[in-house]
Structure 1
Amino acid sequence: MNKQSLTFPEDFWWGSAWSAEQAEGRGETGKAETVWERWYKEQPYRFYQGISSAVTTDHLHRYREDVQLMKQTGHNSFRVSISWARMFPEDGIGTVNPKAIAFYRDLFTEMKQNGIKVFANLYHFDMPAALQDQGGWESREVVAAYVNFADTCFKEFGDLVYHWFTFNEPLGPILGSYLEDFHYPNIIDFKRGAQAAYFTVLAHAKAIEAFKKHQLTSKIGVILNLSPTFPRSQHPADVKAAEIADLFYTRSFLDPMVKGIFPVALVDLLREYDQLPTDICEADLTCIATHTAQILGLNYYEPRRVKARLTAINPEGPFLPDWFFDHHIMPGRRMNEYRGWEIYEKGILDLCLDIKHNYGNIEAFISENGMGVADEERFMDDSGQVNDTYRIDYIKDHLAYLWQAIEQGCNIKGYHLWTFIDCWSWINSYKNRYGLVSLDLATQKRTIKKSGEFYKELSDQNGFEYDTDLLV
């Protein structure tokens, strides 16, 4: 064994993240119906154990207690999202809600007074349902409504927020809503999805344009879910398959949101198959080129492994990225069996090096990384504490490679875990638990897990001891 103290840079951001729809609960402040509330009304059977987002972690009423738990679990920073539907309860537009402003100002002030930097995200999958009815991200009018919402947030909370983010995982709603049937309104239509993706990128740029007018000391960026893509082999067909998968899943948002340009190879591919968006103008492209992210959040959970297709596609079926590759199940891979994701810690190093070499080493941080486990009460002791040593090991193993990335010159400023307290998850509700703090759904009682105690030590020491022989 080669035990070494892995120390992180001074002022490293230790924290975690969640979103409004997954944590706040509806409450009584006034809130427009979101697409998730609409979907639950229409198809409650698609939600695990029929649990909706009506109450979730009840953060709206318990935020002061929660901020103290943040301190007790070593947070010096925390990412929230601001609910568009709560800020504009008249269907996402109209008059801003003073009760929402009061809530977020109270929350952010409480965080700052307790030494916790506010990382505020403006959109985390929670489209007001009435705006989805107007076309959602396929609509220029919805883009304008989003920019108005963002500008209002900059004005109302700019003095309290440390960093801003336009979107969390913008790829998610495109895949879920237009390709893979896991987000409302469950359309299968790539070309419409391409239009929605394009307008999402435009909304990002226009929000940054609005942000700059406020001359705040904070920075603004975006949070992307990124996975390094690995071909099954170096056979040219496998390599080509990996390149195309990478275009769809990684470069599609990363390039325009950070570099201001769309990948030429992806544009050419979509043009060949007549899948380009139709509502595009030169002014949009200029805005996208000139208003790019100042900081980048990296959500990393698993690698992407692909291989060349061995079977023909059905040309009468819907156009999908899977036309160009198959997913590869690597023999011997380690799995989080509860989530169905591969555990590959070195991928976090590969991802950071990609950002260093290909995206100007933009200031970045790990904005999500975590391990969801079902039935965690199995690991609860007589005092009611979850002894989640598996989560502690998971965090250490990923952080060891993140430390290596920093040693190799990657401009990484922090690490945020998903998540703080067990929170409601899209469709899966509370099936898998991710938190540093456990939640009793019946009583809303919060109890710090062993991982929460570890996270406090990690933050206090700004590092941990690790057997570096385990690094490859």
Structure 2
Amino acid sequence: MQNTNNIDLSSLQRRDFASDFRWGCSTSSYQIEGAVDQDERGESIWDRFCATPGHIRDGSSGAMACDHYRRWPQDLDLARNLGTNAYRFSIAWPRIFANGRGRAANQKGLDFYSRLVDGMLERGLEPWVTLYHWDLPQALQDQGGWANRDTVDAFVDYTDVVSRHLGDRIKHWITHNEPWCTAFHGHYEGVHAPGLKDFKTALQVCHNVLVSHGLAIPVIRRNVPAARVGAALSLHPLKPASDSAQDAAATLRHDGLRNRWFLDPLHGRGYPADIWQRVGDNAPQVQPGDLEVIATATDFLGVNYYFPEIVADAPGQGVLATRVVEAENVERTAFGWEVSPEGMVTLLSRVARDYQPAEIYLTENGSTYDDVVGADGQIEDHQRRRYLMRHLAALKEIVALGIPVKGYFAWSLLDNFEWAEGYIRRFGLTHVDFATQQRRLKASGQWYRDFLRGETA
């Protein structure tokens, strides 16, 4: 693609995109809601994980977060005033079933999300719901969590209740957010809840999550006849660390677990044979019919894009014998992630070419920087603003290439609880003072607003 450092970003216009293009922001329940002990909500794995010292960098939790559970009208006003026409949020499973399952759902939890969805519609925001954004009920984890096949059935039952209750008002449904993170951050690296470190368990979790995705789709469609259903994957463009054949082979192996392990079975190809052979006895238990279930047709593919990865051969290092290396002399966010709008073009070009999804939505894209509130109360986050502008310039090129991207959701509307990083990392277009819960639109949010209102030129 054309280098976005060398083009006139001020020429970006909303009218460069189709009139029905979805423009939104994404959030997730545990990261913003707070109120973890209110209205009969049950304990989640993140409540338990945060309560264990050493898991969260600043020792915090999502117990209060953005207090969105009480302040949601104000937050939806922020989304509306940005000029967005869609809003992606997630349901807290423990608010619906405190113990993960049961004969009767928690009506108070259902009523909260009913009010929230009504609030979106009143503000002209199309609801995009994610059923699972990592906050598994702790009661299910105590029984084995996602490694236990019974959790698949519990997820389908939960999906049935939520889709029956909200399906008259929600058309777009995302089953899972980033199953790679659920499986590997949570069960192999141990940096996310539930904090396990076992490769075989991680692969079984991945499989069970994908099966639950496939089984949930017909349930949603039965309850919501006009439903559009998909999953949101965290995907990365990859390149080898050198021109050597060894690094090229390592990159293929890394791609096999990072990207193809999800894309292939979701698109009817089963698990990648090269990686299945390599994981050996760690391979998950697959029941007859599972692969057909995972390949249940979807209406769109959600892609969360943040950064590329560079891969080197690393004999003896892990099952894949690979390692990710850092590029030198590249721009990075405060998280250390490489800033690469070009990588987004590369990634979505590859996805469209190799898997041909009917529609693609960028369900997350964003950046974290060390924001400073000025004496005048303004947050001049020029780096985040430029990050956003450059990625929308890349998005314009992606659409021009004929890749069927139909929407963009910025991560995130609000600064929030950033998982293992606590409140150290700020991704929001809106600054949140967590002591006072005051919201202030940052310079990046002001630019996004002006872009969406057609006022950037």
Query: Normalising by the residue count of structure 2, what TM-score does the alignment of the two structures yield?
Result: 0.94
Matched, 1:57 2:66: yes
One-letter amino acid of the counterpart of residue 288, structure 1: I
One-letter amino acid of the counterpart of residue 286, structure 1: E
Matched, 1:282 2:288: yes
Matched, 1:419 2:428: no
> Quick one: distance in 1 between partners of 2:268 and 2:378?
46
Query: How far does the alpha carbon of each residue in 1:141-173 deviate from its partner, in whole angstroms, 9 at most, with x for none?
Result: 111000000111110001111310000001002
SS of alignment partner, residue 229 of structure 2: strand
* Equivalent residue number for residue 396 of structure 1: 389
> Quick one: distance in 2 between partners of 1:128 and 1:285?
26
* Equivalent residue number for residue 433 of structure 2: 440
Query: How far does the alpha carbon of each residue in 1:52-85 deviate from its partner, in whole angstroms, 9 at most, with x for none?
Result: 1111001110111111111112221111001110
Q: CA deviation at 1:218?
A: 2.5
One-letter amino acid of the counterpart of residue 113, structure 1: E
Matched, 1:295 2:300: yes
Runs of 5+ in structure 1 lacking a partner?
A: 314-319, 466-472
Distance of aligned partners of 1:2 and 1:440 in 2 relative to their CA distance in 1, 3 Å threshold: closer
Where do residues 14-413 of structure 1 align in structure 2 (5 Å cutoff)?
Answer: 14-25=23-34, 26=36, 28-41=38-51, 43-259=52-268, 261-270=270-279, 273-278=280-285, 280-289=286-295, 291-309=296-314, 311-313=315-317, 320-321=318-319, 323-336=320-333, 338-374=334-370, 376-377=371-372, 380-413=373-406
> Quick one: distance in 1 between partners of 2:119 and 2:426?
26
Query: How far does the alpha carbon of each residue in 1:110-129 deviate from its partner, in whole angstroms, 9 at most, with x for none?
Result: 10111101000000111111
> Quick one: distance in 2 between partners of 1:287 and 1:408?
32
SS of alignment partner, residue 282 of structure 2: coil
One-letter amino acid of the counterpart of residue 369, structure 2: V
Distance of aligned partners of 1:215 and 1:23 in 2 relative to their CA distance in 1, 3 Å threshold: closer
One-letter amino acid of the counterpart of residue 332, structure 1: N
> Quick one: distance in 1 between partners of 2:224 and 2:206?
28
> Quick one: distance in 1 between partners of 2:37 and 2:118?
20
SS of alignment partner, residue 58 of structure 2: helix
One-letter amino acid of the counterpart of residue 450, structure 1: A
> Quick one: distance in 2 between partners of 1:302 and 1:32?
35
> Quick one: distance in 2 between partners of 1:9 and 1:67?
24
> Quick one: distance in 2 between partners of 1:129 and 1:38?
7
One-letter amino acid of the counterpart of residue 354, structure 1: R
The answer to whether the 8 Å contact 1:27/1:60 transfers is: no
Q: CA deviation at 1:108?
A: 0.5
SS of alignment partner, residue 387 of structure 1: coil
> Quick one: distance in 1 between partners of 2:181 and 2:50?
19
> Quick one: distance in 2 between partners of 1:426 and 1:400?
29
How many residues are matched? 447
Query: Normalising by the residue count of structure 1, what TM-score does the alignment of the two structures yield?
Result: 0.91
One-letter amino acid of the counterpart of residue 397, structure 1: R
The answer to whether the 8 Å contact 2:26/2:88 transfers is: yes
One-letter amino acid of the counterpart of residue 332, structure 2: M
The answer to whether the 8 Å contact 1:84/1:92 transfers is: no
Q: CA deviation at 1:27?
A: 5.4
Q: CA deviation at 1:215?
A: 4.5
> Quick one: distance in 2 between partners of 1:68 and 1:152?
28
Q: CA deviation at 1:5?
A: 4.4
Q: CA deviation at 1:418?
A: 0.8
Q: CA deviation at 1:266?
A: 2.1
> Quick one: distance in 1 between partners of 2:142 and 2:58?
27
Distance of aligned partners of 1:2 and 1:51 in 2 relative to their CA distance in 1, 3 Å threshold: closer
Root mean square deviation of aligned Cα: 1.7
Q: CA deviation at 1:364?
A: 0.8
> Quick one: distance in 1 between partners of 2:266 and 2:363?
16
| Of 129-138 and 44-53, the range deviating more from structure 2 | 44-53
One-letter amino acid of the counterpart of residue 44, structure 1: P
Distance of aligned partners of 1:206 and 1:381 in 2 relative to their CA distance in 1, 3 Å threshold: same
One-letter amino acid of the counterpart of residue 65, structure 2: T
Runs of 5+ in structure 2 lacking a partner?
A: 1-5
| Of 46-55 and 417-426, the range deviating more from structure 2 | 46-55
Q: CA deviation at 1:288?
A: 2.2
Structure 1 segments, 4+ long, off by >3 Å, are 1-6, 90-94
> Quick one: distance in 2 between partners of 1:63 and 1:258?
37
Q: CA deviation at 1:178?
A: 2.4
> Quick one: distance in 2 between partners of 1:267 and 1:151?
32
Q: How many percent identity over aligned positions?
A: 31
> Quick one: distance in 1 between partners of 2:102 and 2:278?
37
> Quick one: distance in 1 between partners of 2:66 and 2:48?
20
